[in-house]
Amino acid sequence: MSVDMSQFYQTFFDESFEGLDIMESGLLGLDIGAADAETINTVFRAAHSIKGGSATFGFTVVAEFTHLMETLLDEMRDGTRMVTEDSVDYLLKSVDCLKELLTAVQNESEYNEAFVEEVKAGLERLLHGDDVPVKVDGEVSDSSTSKPEIKGWNIEFKPAEYLLKTGNDPVRLINELSLLGKIETVCCIDNIPLFSEFNPELIYLSWSIVLHGNVQKEKISEVFEWVDDDADIVLTCIGGEQEQNNEEVSGVEVAAPVAPTEKIEVQAPVEKIEASLKSEIHDTDKKSSLKKTPKDQSSIRVSIDKVDDLINMVGELVITQSMLGQLGENVTPDSIEKLQDGLAQLERNTRELQESVMRIRMLPISFAFQRFPRMVRDLSNQLGKEIELRLLGEQTELDKTVMEKIGDPLVHLVRNSVDHGIETPDEREAAGKPRMGTVELNAFHQGGSIVIEINDDGKGIDKDVIFAKAVEKGVVNANDSLTDEQIFDLIFAPGFSTAAVVSDVSGRGVGMDVVKRNIRELGGTIEVKSEKGKGSTIIIRLPLTLAILDGQLIRVGADTYIIPLISIIESLQVKKEQISSIGGQAELYKLRDEYIPVVRLYETFGLKPDSEELVDGLIVIVEGDGSTAGLFVDDLLGQQQVVIKSLETNFRPVEGVSGATILGDGTVALILDVSGLINLSRQSSERAA
């Protein structure tokens, strides 16, 4: 009887990707010189496991590549080869290469052959000496052979329709291309819909661009790196050959040199994997080495202790259910008290069961932090800086869904700290600082939230420069009086950047607004603190989970709403003498020394309240996106945990509302988005003015 090996694929992939993380961590910890026996053994065992598993399942291309890497590690393990900077670099590239190969196998997609061949050639040179020839386009050539100069590039650029919503602008990208050389641009308008179907927030255009001149692929990749997941990009070299072997740079895969009439599609976005599968244009060799596998399924590893707790809680729940069942068969006045006790026990069991299930979804934030040692190492080498990365609070647990969504914003913020924050060694020495800068990531629980801090001891943020740039861009007026917090918050404005030179790391003025929007979509907040010459701290506050929140039930007229407790500062009875208005429109409530705008929820949602007089209701002081407001409500009903249901998934997005939940009586209550409500109120005031 044959065994269906595909049932074991997911376990193999989970263990393999975990092994890659172990390998990367171990390689980053290697010191140049004699190899540390324990570390190199750990890396070797991880590589050996991947090779063995891939060979077992018939993933030949993975097994063959890993064997080459394993041979180099084995020589280090035996002491016949010293650890060098070059060997560590190529082993780290090999980890990247294995990750790409495994992902290709898992998703049944193509992989970047040029990148794999380049890394394999580098490993061969390390194993056999520097005189090993390099394969280029299937032919052997000496690496010292001179290359003809490139005459130019044909560039097909088709942005995703939603590109503008990410804070990117195609015109700005085309302008950047024009700085590399003379360009000829043709705009395609074939996809523009009828006027009745036209959405001004979407892009229906694409461009064919000819860039003249001897421009290397890295320069073009730098231009498109911010949109590599949000566009289809086709690069075709006109004449000559590329300076390096084909390699993936910033997500843009460049085709080998071809005649000007030929075009090879580059599939930069991850979403294009499925498109490549549907085309069914596969190389014969790849068909034999990359076998079909099930689609990637998200999974999570859970400690046996958490599973045991869950089983125990289910047992308690069964006992309580049995007790209530017996009481329900013969209800008498004497059994009412026992029935009430049983229901109270059921409530406790349900709450504990809920908490046990939620703990299963919780993972140490080290899963999100583990990418940064490699990233900081590569960036510091690229920028010529000396940087130490410190990771604190790695065992702080966070919901898996939240962790997956916070990964990209954290990457952007750490890159900014490395690029804009930390100075060069000479600059630090001149300022009386150690030559080596420090970037620190710290995570800890605070109340019902998790706080993530990104600290650096760099040059800090110059408030005057930020303000001047904001005035120049028209974000604020020169006469505006802003607090330090408000000035620092300007860096999250779309397109805002103070970088004097645009680098391939950061400085194009895209991304920080997206970072803030992504964090806000998670129900979190972001705050910047900085002192010129001493460094900066970015503070992110996030809910522990996106599935459940602690909420305050409020009543407005006959309807019930929920305000997240994390957004509430305090609730109070309205005093008439504390109320004032501006221009007869905007209402303000004086709370101690601060004037807070009042938002009448019944006006926002078109409801009939108990009374329109503020003194007859309550004010709930809330905070969102760095702003404070007072929500006028009729009554406070109590607090409870609620399960969040997405409105966008089940209905459509509604500004001022983040979701919905079902209450104990079966009715639906909307969960208020405090930031959205404050924004709605601000827009309403501006229209009235």
- Where are the chain's structural domains? 5-141, 152-282, 304-363, 365-543, 548-688
> What's the CA gap between 55 and 561, in Å, rounded?
57
pLDDT at position 542: 84
**Pick the residue with more confidence: 95 or 495?**
95
The fraction of the chain above a pLDDT of 70, given in percent, is 83
Q: For the segment 664-685, what is each residue's pLDDT rounded down to a tens digit?
A: 778 888 888 888 888 787 777 6
> What's the CA gap between 643 and 662, in Å, rounded?
8
Q: Which pLDDT band, with edges at 50, 70 and 90, does 359 fall under?
A: confident
**Pick the residue with more confidence: 97 or 473?**
97
pLDDT at position 148: 54
Choice among 112, 168, 416, 455 that is catalytic: 416
Rounded (10°) angle between helices 9-28 and 37-57? 160
Residue 180, judged by CB atoms within 10 A of its CB (0-12, 13-18, 19+), counts as middle
Angle at 369 between CA 97 and CA 533, to 5 degrees: 115
630, 621 contact by CB (below 8 A) = yes
The fraction of the chain above a pLDDT of 90, given in percent, is 9
Q: Which residues pair with 618 in a beta bridge?
A: 573, 633
Residue 225, judged by CB atoms within 10 A of its CB (0-12, 13-18, 19+), counts as middle
- The predicted model gives 530-536 an average pLDDT of 89
- The predicted model gives 586-606 an average pLDDT of 85
Q: Which pLDDT band, with edges at 50, 70 and 90, does 282 fall under?
A: very low
Q: Which pLDDT band, with edges at 50, 70 and 90, does 437 fall under?
A: very high
269, 231 contact by CB (below 8 A) = yes
Report residue 34 CA to chain centroid gap. 37
**Pick the residue with more confidence: 264 or 630?**
630
635, 602 contact by CB (below 8 A) = no
Task: Please give the DSSP secondary-structure letter assigned to residue 205.
Answer: -
**Pick the residue with more confidence: 595 or 303?**
595
Neighbours of 98 (CB within 10 A): 25
pLDDT at position 665: 78
**Residues 6 or more apart whose Cβ sits within 8 Å of residue 54:** 12, 16, 60, 62, 63, 66, 105
Q: Residue 436, SS3?
A: coil
Query: For tokens 């390998």, what's the residue?
Result: 23
- The predicted model gives 517-539 an average pLDDT of 86
70: annotated active-site residue: yes
361, 300 contact by CB (below 8 A) = yes
Choice among 15, 41, 48, 527 that is catalytic: 48
212: annotated active-site residue: no
566, 548 contact by CB (below 8 A) = no
pLDDT at position 626: 67
Most confident of 19-28, 143-152, 284-293, 473-482: 19-28
Phi, psi of 498 (to 5 degrees): -110, 10
Rounded (10°) angle between helices 336-361 and 304-329? 160
Q: For the segment 36-79, what is each residue's pLDDT rounded down to a tens digit?
A: 888 888 888 888 888 878 877 888 888 888 888 888 888 888 78
645, 661 contact by CB (below 8 A) = yes
pLDDT at position 689: 56
Nearest CA to 405 among 518, 292, 498, 493? 518
CATH code that applies to domain 548-688:
2.40.50.180
pLDDT at position 553: 92
Q: For the segment 438-472, what is each residue's pLDDT rounded down to a tens digit?
A: 999 999 887 667 889 999 999 988 888 888 888 88
Range of weakest confidence among 210-224, 363-377, 609-623:
210-224
Q: Which residues pair with 573 in a beta bridge?
A: 618
- pLDDT of 270 strictly over 50: no
- Identity of the residue numbered 448: G
SS (H, E, C) 104-147: HHHHCCCCCHHHHHHHHHHHHHHHHCCCCCEEECCEEECCCCCC
Query: For tokens 């970037």, what's the residue?
Result: 439
Q: Which two tokens stand for residue 496?
A: 């805002």
> What's the CA gap between 119 and 682, in Å, rounded?
55
Angle at 155 between CA 151 and CA 161, to 5 degrees: 170
159, 230 contact by CB (below 8 A) = yes
> pLDDT averaged over the chain?
78
490, 467 contact by CB (below 8 A) = yes
| In this structure, CATH architecture of domain 365-543 | 2-Layer Sandwich (3.30)
Q: What is the dihedral sign for C-alpha 541, 546, 548, 554?
A: positive
Angle at 332 between CA 331 and CA 334, to 5 degrees: 125
Burial 123-135 (b: 16+ CB within 10 A, else e): bbbbeeeeebebe
Most confident of 99-108, 195-204, 430-439, 498-507: 430-439
48: annotated active-site residue: yes
- The predicted model gives 158-186 an average pLDDT of 84
5-141: CATH, from 3.40.50.300, 3.90.180.10, 1.10.760.10, 1.20.120.160: 1.20.120.160
- pLDDT of 658 strictly over 60: yes
The CA distances from residue 517 to 84, 382, 409, 493, 513, in Å, are 43, 29, 10, 11, 6
Residue 79, judged by CB atoms within 10 A of its CB (0-12, 13-18, 19+), counts as exposed
**Pick the residue with more confidence: 280 or 604?**
604
- The predicted model gives 414-420 an average pLDDT of 89
pLDDT at position 332: 78
- The predicted model gives 484-500 an average pLDDT of 74
- pLDDT of 145 strictly over 50: no
Range of weakest confidence among 230-244, 383-397, 583-597, 600-614:
230-244
137, 321 contact by CB (below 8 A) = no
- The predicted model gives 382-395 an average pLDDT of 90
- The predicted model gives 126-130 an average pLDDT of 71
Burial 209-218 (b: 16+ CB within 10 A, else e): bbbeeebebb
365, 397 contact by CB (below 8 A) = yes
> What's the CA gap between 151 and 237, in Å, rounded?
8
599, 678 contact by CB (below 8 A) = yes
